[in-house]
Structure 1
Amino acid sequence: ADLGGSATFEYYARPVVSGIAPSRGSLAGRTVVTVHGTGFMQDGLICRMGSVNADDARYVSASLVECDAPASAVSGSVALELSFNNGLDFTSDDSLFLYEPGAVVSSVRPSVGVAGVEGQTVTVFGSDFQHSSQLCCRFGAVGTVSALFESSSMVVCSAPSRSGGVTSVEVSNNCVDWDPLVSRASLDYRQQISVKLVPSSGPARGGAAISVEAIGGASQVSRVAVVRVNGFATELVANTESEVKFVMPTLSPGSASVDIEWDGGLMTNDVVLGVYETPRVASAVPSSVSIGLTRSIEVVGSGFNEATSHCWYGPDAVRGSVVSSSLIRCGSPVQTAGVVSVQVGSGSEAQSFEEVDLVIGAAAVVEMVRPSRAAVGGGLVTVIGENFVRSSSLSCRLGKSIVFGSWLSSSGVMCAMPSSASGNVSVEASNNGVDFTSAGHRFEVTNVFISKLTPSQGLVGGGADVRVSLSAAVSRFPSLFCRFGELYAKATAVNAFEVMCKSPPRNTSTVQVVLEDGANVIADGASFVYSGSSQDTVVASLWPVRGSVEGGTVVSVRGSGFAADGLQCRFGDVTVSGSDARFISTTLVGCVAPAVSTAGGVSVEVSVTGGSEYTMDGKRFLFEAAPSVAELIPSRGLSGTEGQVVTVIGANFQHDVELTCRFGMDRITALFASSSAILCTAPSHDTGAVNVDVSNNGLDNSATSATFMYAPRGNGWVLSASKGPVKGGTKITISGLDLSEGLERVRCDFGSE
């Protein structure tokens, strides 16, 4: 029924909320939220956030409304909706607004910045920082910048430029809400002074002492509050008005930024400190110093530069010349006998990671050369003197040619004359292959010389028939004489290359024998020894006292009355002479044991009369079967590890104090188990394979050997289980093993069990 009245009702198009900004805000409210959408109207406007109406809603346009968020007691997301009929109908577009605790700032690091510099990085500490795209920092009333989220308690911001003064620092999770009341941090912009660093660079491993010097004069330098390298405070070792010095921390090669805060408010920022690769020392050349001869040392390694131009010999630094990044040449260290470590570094400190040892010892001395003449085509030269050292660098310099020397004793070295040598050449020696003596002894390379006297020794009464062997024919000379010192004897030709002379009587001595034609010297280069009796020659001891039936053992025979001429050695009834009977000094000769068919002991005697008489001292030498090596158990171990026991399996091992194993070049005393098994402790070694052989006498090595492999530590093993119960029984699979030796050789050791 018609009630007789009417009213107007307006239909409007459905408003749509398409987005809000910011989409998050503080629990305290008051966040101004901008609402975007379509169909907005001014009349009847209400903004609802969750179940609570906003403090205020302002119409801006048909597509934009502003809402003041009310406070919330709990964190979480709520829907923001609009009504345009005083709250009777609301939109339903589910635009969510997140309530969360507001960001709180407690401190800033660094708290001091440089005035007038843009983009200084600061770290802000506090609480309730949120990982969102709306996270911001604000420096003062203006100067809002985006923040980099690190954690809920730390963000990183780039500070804007300021002319000076203290500026507050705030953080907002939505870049809208700022609350100075909960931000208790500030950045103090200060003026800076210019400085230089001395030295301007240092090694990556750190530890170098760096001085800070003001460019404008020492009056600008005062005490320092803190020095930061790449943002982190470092140790100060000097901090006075006249000197500031800090310790360089460990850094990556390249460069580092140094910031200095001075007492009184002055700042120095972004001073560049060069960081070079930490130098490494691999070797020193020569590896030994001959006192009085060595003038310079070349250090080989890597990472060398002008900042590391000093060689450090123990505690002493010597200025050097950087030849390349891998070579520095320095003067010799203080020449006092001993061993010093070698490093490189600056003039104030050593900086290299590694160091090598440098041996300092007495220089070699050359007193004589035997023989003093040889034929063209080479030959062996024995250099007699003092202080010769057994090393791989022991050398002789024959004219301009340098050859390796064979160490005989501290007083004797044997060298091979190069076939190219000719004429009269100097003969010098060196313990390190670099620094040679300058004694001036000469060696003549000639086409005619006395190659041999048989015998080369006789009694003082004379009368010995001496056969003189020559390197060239002498038949063209009508008459020849042998001169024994100053005494002459008629020479009778045997053939074109040999003459016979009868030794004249004279006192006990060693004389030079020269072949003359009555006016001119035809050939020389041999000595004849006059002795009272063969009983003056004594054999006191032998070393080693055993060797292989195959022969070749060089036996050092010590005694007295030995001479080079007429020298022979006799093993039982077998005589050796020539190069197998080596004269070293009047108290030492080297005798090369011959091969024999039967094992057993024989006496070793010496003759200095060409075999006419021998000593009768009865020193025994044992011929025995040579040792052989069949296998090693285990055949591999860890590199860089001491104390790994290896069982050597083979044959003919002897229970003797001289029983040794040799791993590469390292000889180790062996423990005898049986004639077919001995125990040896492998020395520490770098990764790789070495040959292992055995010696029964500490000198001769077995002809056969076995390979021992030093494997890298860890070796890339992967365990299927890294733990298990104490009762044991856990099955573990190990991946990454090299099982080329066979499964029967594998054993797992758990700790010391």
Structure 2
Amino acid sequence: MAAWRQELLSSVALALVVASLFPLGGPFTGGTAVTVTGIAFQDLGDVKCRFGEDEVQALLANETTIECASPGCTSPTCVRGQEETHVTVPLEVSMNGVTFTGSGLQFTYYDMRYVAVSHITPAGGPAAGATPLLVRGHALRDLSSGTAMGVRLQGLKCKFGENDMVHAYLWAMGDSRDKAGARCIAPTDLTWPGGVGANASVLHPMPLELTFNGYDTVGTLTSSGVPYTYYAPPAFNTSRLHPLGGPIHGGTVLTVYLTDARLLVDLGGDAHGVLCRFTHTRTVGVLGFERQHVVHEVVNASLTDCRGQRTCGAGWGAVSCRVPPLPPPLDTQLSPQYESSFDGRDVNVEVTVNGFDFTDGGLPFRYYDDTVWKLHRIEPSGGPLTGNTSLVARGLRFSSLGDVRCRFGPLNEEVNATIDEEQSIRCVSPAHWLHADNVVPLSSQRVEVELTLNGQDYLPTRQFGGGYTYYKLDDTQIGLSVARLEPPGGPEQGGTLVRVRGTGFDDVGGLFCKFGGESPVPASLVDREHVRCYSPQRTPNASSYVDDAFGGTYDERTVEVTINGQMHALTSSGVRFAYHTDAGVAVSRIYPRGGPRQGGTPVTVWGVGFRDLGHGRHTDVPTAAGLHCRFGGLELVPATLATEGGGGPQRLVCASPGLPAPVSSTSLVVRVTNNADNPPGGPALTDDDVAFTYYDSFNGNDDGRSTPYGATLLTHGSDWTGGDVL
């Protein structure tokens, strides 16, 4: 009987086949559920599993499956040394508790105390999952084994908090297991916390642990506590960029603001996670076979706190990166962007905080070609050291890219600017730093005006004549000043040609004279010390007239000059121009009332308002004196003011000019002008009916005191004030 039983058991053992087991290992503490698969499994009274020398009862699930739990590693064949972190033992099965298989399968015990997760890359991602991860740690292993019914029996898995585990696989990072990593893909976070509005959560951190044998029971998972942070995708989006564009050669510092600043965290883990991506499409191929080619340029970025500063958009927390150059055209690109007509290209800007998951959609950033933009001119090309000059840069293709400014040299303050219909940029010059620091410059200061559309990248204007000259007002040595006027007065009807003498005259945007209370009038530049302009008609204002000591009526107005066309840039020298009325300068009588035709008779003229409004002594002024007499339509003759003070009528003396033969009339009205013939034949002359009568002399030696035939001659002194007689 014993022999028969032994033969039967031997035949069963020969038919029994063990094919695989799952998992291939478990912790030293035991308790790992092990599934053994094979052929011809049957219960012969005592189904067991043997781990090394340790036997445990098993459950026959069916003829191909046996299930058992690993015992703790305590027998002489499973004793851990002081330095051991794992032990491998044979695992066999028995149907009768006596005869065990000899399949050669092995089960690995490992010490969880030496297993740890150290880094996760990236360390976070969207709540929807799908982020690929690299998990680094110590003593990582994969105890997967074979397949069952076409499904791989996965041992290495990632566990995200309370979410379901996901498969993982080992990623070799070196020659030893200590340098290995595990790769897995983050699942959807099904445990997202509640909350609405401001209380809604945007970040949900949780521990990411590993299991090597596919189980998440106590003792089989790592317990490192390294967090993986989920974030809410709706909150992770871009709200604005600053600036909105930059040059095609790149280098612009771009600031990207998120919809929710709470997501400004670097979730890159062991790698840098904050990046910017610049995306655009190009049409490539040949005609008729075009296709769209997507171009991505990814650059490193950083988290920054703008602290409300203008340079980064006056915000606070944001992502900052430096814009890369616009990629050059492809060989198969149909329309290269570097043609002369190219003036810009829009790209989408997206950001990521984990190095993988970018914002959706992005915001446009415009590249422009700073070699194509056009600047025609800058007006004016100069202004006072005190600043406040309104400047216009005229050109083409101007567009605001977030912060339009002007810069007047490297040391002066930058100023705001505006764009008018892409054709002009307007700004106001700042005070020159020398003026601001109360430093007296040795000369005028010339600077280069530079323009920026984005607050960073300045467009040089030197090649377009973009120089700007600062000058000092009312400085007779190095600046713009008015010293005197020639003549210093004229009739209220205006039209007097005024020669303005001074220093620093130029035309840097508009040369004008400004007579106090009147609109500015154009001026012409003679040289650096001389400009000309015509006095405007005086605006009636009776209260501004002042009577002088001799009965004349004058209105004195200051005359100032601007060389850049702007009234704030006028001089303030205080030099005055005296307007007079027709009645304010008048002739009441003369003595004598006649003389010989050949002229030369000294004539005393009485009246009011006589002034010598002289023209100075310059080569362009034939007569320096302003006070003249005119007899009828004859040439002006100089006059000398005889009354220097005291009250009563004024008097002057002039010599009668000769009466040419063609002139038939012998009685000519005597008129007086204070500022010579200026304007010629105009209202500067008095208009009174006091006449001088010419007569033929008795002989060639007439001394001018002879009388016509039959006339009665009465002789009086030159200061006689009686009746008018010939």
Category of TM-score, reference length = shorter chain? 0.3 to 0.5
Larger radius of gyration: 2
Structure that is richer in helix per residue: 2
Structure that is richer in strand per residue: 1
TM-score (norm 1): 0.35
TM-score (norm 2): 0.37
Question: Structure with the greater relative contact order (CA < 8 A, sep ≥ 6): 1 or 2?
Answer: 2
